[in-house]
Amino acid sequence: MSPERSPLFLARRTYRLRRLSDAARMLPIAGAVLFCVPLLWRTDAVRTTSAMFYIFGLWVLLAVIAGVISTRLLPTGTEADPPGSQER
DSSP line for 19-66: HHHHHHHHHHHHHHHHHTGGGGS-TTTS-HHHHHHHHHHHHHHHHHHH
The reported pLDDT for the residue numbered 85 is 55
> What's the domain count of the chain?
1
Contact assessment for residue 35 and residue 87, using Cβ atoms and an 8 Å cutoff? no
pLDDT in tens, 24-62: 999 999 999 999 998 888 888 778 888 899 999 999 999
- Do the domain assignments include residue 85? no
- Do the domain assignments include residue 67? yes
Q: The domain containing residue 26 runs over which residues?
A: 17-73
Whether the predicted pLDDT of 81 surpasses 60: no
CA-based nearest residue to 74, from 28, 17, 10:
17
Contact assessment for residue 51 and residue 41, using Cβ atoms and an 8 Å cutoff? yes
- Do the domain assignments include residue 45? yes
What's this model's pTM, rounded to 2 decimal places? 0.69
- Do the domain assignments include residue 5? no
Per the prediction, the chain carries an average pLDDT of: 82
